[in-house]
Amino acid sequence: MSEPVDIVLVYQSLLGIYGDRGNAMVLRSRLAWRGIEARLIEVEPGTPVPAGGAVYLLGGGEDAAQVSAVRALTADGNLYRALDAGAVLFAVCAGYQIVGKTFTVGERDEVIEGLGLLDVNTRRGTERAVGEVLSSWTKPDGTQSLITGFENHGGFTYLGPDARPLARVEIGIGNAGDGTDGAVQGNVLGIYPHGPILARNPELADHLLERALGHPLDPLPSEELDELRRQRIAAVRKAGLRR
Ligand code: GLN
């Protein structure tokens, strides 16, 4: 019997206000539906981050909580060790910002050092990005998949040469209103939309799992999800004309 796959949900008390916890539930369920045993491990500041997880998840949160989270993760150090051992990190919004090199907080735009796992820097944007996002992601096989989600962020994120965009934005702001959303660098992926995004975009969920496990996964029935996605995409395109 093989070891269970550990999905580690990091610091929900700090980075848990946008419902991104659902990403962990989606990953665990998509493994369980395939007969692969998975455990959802939740860790809070003050307790060591488990170093042997397969996928680590960071969610959205407010400025002060982001600063606490980055300090606790830096002091803990185990996220770095897990990534060195081949784990995948998927970070949303505030989580995405803190895994970058720097981000700013507060009225005075104080610059805070991030975890430095993605070559990105975040600064206060020219507007707050709030609303549905529709973007296009190029899957590893070269085909395109649409990503839907809901963004709500004041920071704009700029990519350096070591990171590449995760998706191309059709509707919404994304990284900085520059037509891109998210970033990838090695096994670290970050992006703005909530939703939770992995519930809305099961292909992205499977991509994270396949990356973490190092092998392809059997397809799952998708008719119902495909129909929900079709309706969502049509609604966003219609509403997006007014955004
Ligand atoms: N506080 C950050 C910002 O506004 C992140 C917000 C979020 O996680 N939704 O940019």
- The predicted pLDDT at position 242 comes to 57
Residue carrying the six token digits 């590893």: 140
CB atoms within 10 A of CB 222: 12
Residue to mutate (ligand 1; options 12, 18, 93; most atoms within 8 A of CB): 93
- The predicted pLDDT at position 132 comes to 95
Identify the band that residue 240 occupies on the pLDDT scale cut at 50, 70 and 90: confident
- Give CA–CA dist 94/9, Å, rounded: 14
- The predicted pLDDT at position 2 comes to 78
Using alpha carbons, list the distances in angstroms from residue 175 to 81, 126, 212.
28, 12, 25
* Pocket of ligand 1 contains residue 93 by CB under 6 Å: yes
* Pocket of ligand 1 contains residue 153 by CB under 6 Å: yes
Average pLDDT of 42-47? 97
- Atom number, ligand 1, closest to the C-alpha of residue 62: 1
- Closest C-alpha among 94, 158, 151, 106 to residue 128: 151
Residue 221 phi, psi dihedral angles, 5° rounding = -55, 140
Minimum CA distance residue for ligand 1 atom 8: 60
* Pocket of ligand 1 contains residue 152 by CB under 6 Å: yes
- Atom number, ligand 1, closest to the C-alpha of residue 152: 9
CA 92–ligand 1 middle distance (angstroms) = 9
Question: Whole-number mean pLDDT of the chain?
Answer: 96
**Which residues are known to be catalytic?**
93, 194
Domain 5-241 in CATH 3.30.930.10? The answer is: no
- Give CA–CA dist 147/170, Å, rounded: 10
- The predicted pLDDT at position 208 comes to 98
CA dihedral 129, 167, 160, 205 (to 10 degrees): 100
CA 33–ligand 1 middle distance (angstroms) = 33
Average pLDDT of 129-155? 96
- Atom number, ligand 1, closest to the C-alpha of residue 15: 8
| pLDDT tens digit sequence for 73-132 | 999 999 999 999 999 999 999 999 999 999 999 989 999 999 999 999 999 999 999 999
Q: Give burial (CB, 10 Å; 0-12/13-18/19+) of 225.
A: middle
